[in-house]
A and B are shown apart, each in its own frame.
Chain A
Amino acid sequence: MTDQSPPDRDLDPTSDGDGRTLEPWEVFRREKDGDPMRHGGSVMAPDAVLAVHYARELYGRRQESVALWVVRRADIHDLADPDLLQPPLDRSFKKPGGYVMRDKLAAARQQSGQAKPKARSSRPTRPAEKADR
């Protein structure tokens, strides 16, 4: 899974940042093995090495993370254009809820004589995600 393998960054101080100007770096953290990376917050730092040091102190010093990703904010491709993400026309027909399958499925099952499959009992739960809400 790509999510499990952190980017192999070269921590050469000259690789990112100019070393003189403070700029924001976004910090993603994994709380425990198996969890996805989640955005934790940001730090200000003049280069990648110090950004990683500060990320460790601000998001890891109390053993609250098992892994961190540190990304220079300037390297993030941003998309927040309302025309592209929140267009004004009614788009409810794009949502699955706009097209009720239940009755159609029941009719199809009856026609073919198949029983409704049982719900999967071993559905993976994600307690950490629930806790976030």
Chain B
Amino acid sequence: MTTTRSALAASIDPAAETALDELLLSMADDEFVIGFSDSEWTGIAPILEEDIAMSSLAQDELGHARAIYELLAEVRGDGQTADTIAYDREPAEYRHARLLDHGRGDWAMTIARRYLYDTADGSRLEGLATSSFAPLRELVDKIRREERYHVMHATTWLERLARYPGEPRDRITASLDELAPDAATVFTPLDGEALLVEAGVLAEPMAALEARWRATITPVFVGLDLPMPPAGPLDGGRTTHGEQFGWLWGEFTSVRRSDPGAIW
């Protein structure tokens, strides 16, 4: 089935279309970048079982990214595909949250990032669960059912690392400290998000979703005696990417760039 741009875009306020594009792109880029980062554990995770678990989680995220990129391609209706959007951009054009720009790091860093991201993503998805944009609402419903396990997995590990004194606790606190300034960047306000809220695409502004996220994770942080990530301005939270991302971009585009335009 092919849906023309006008048919798909007709279901939302035309004024909100640019903001919708930005929302979808930011969500897909988040899932793509964390999925690709975590796939770096394949073959070297702490134990075989965790290797398979982390690789499977990474695959889930890439699957979500693909589905969102496909929806975005359909909304744009200009001949782009999930692959061209995912791979054919310069590093500065990616819109993932800066939380995901800290490099793979050690296992504790991976767990800290996963926990912060998965819980934040959960709050964002909650804000889309009753979206007036039906294709997104239906996709979000499916994604949320998989993300439930992701949060379980991340929480299980966060609790274990934080509860065992010595190296496990030292490493997880150091990782959370490093990520703290960027922890909430998933909620970086989108240009024109007020239009999305008005059109019913998004239930609440990002700031309100961030407040929900903080309310969700506070009991966990308090229970584990960990400092909550500070609230603060999120300027450039999706537009300023560091050197780490430049390296990652080089990795995930290397095959595609080796033979531009090839059909794989």
Contacts and interface: CB of A to CB of B under 8 A. Distances in A.
Interface in B43-62: 47-50, 52-53, 56
Given A44-B47, A44-B48, A53 B160 contact: no
B153 interface: yes
Contacts of A36: none
Interface string B51-81: 0110010000000000000000000000000
A68 interface: no
Contacts of B49: 43-45, 50, 54, 57-58
Interface residues of A, number: 16
Interface of A: 13, 19-20, 22, 43-46, 49-50, 53-54, 56-58, 61
Interface of B is mostly: helix
Contacts of B159: 13
Interface string B246-262: 00000000000000000
B160 A13 contact: yes
B234 to A, nearest CB: 32
B7 interface: no
Chain B's interface size range is 10 to 19
Interface in B25-57: 47-50, 52-53, 56
A63 B50 CA distance: 19
Contact of B156 (A20, A22, A44, A49): A49
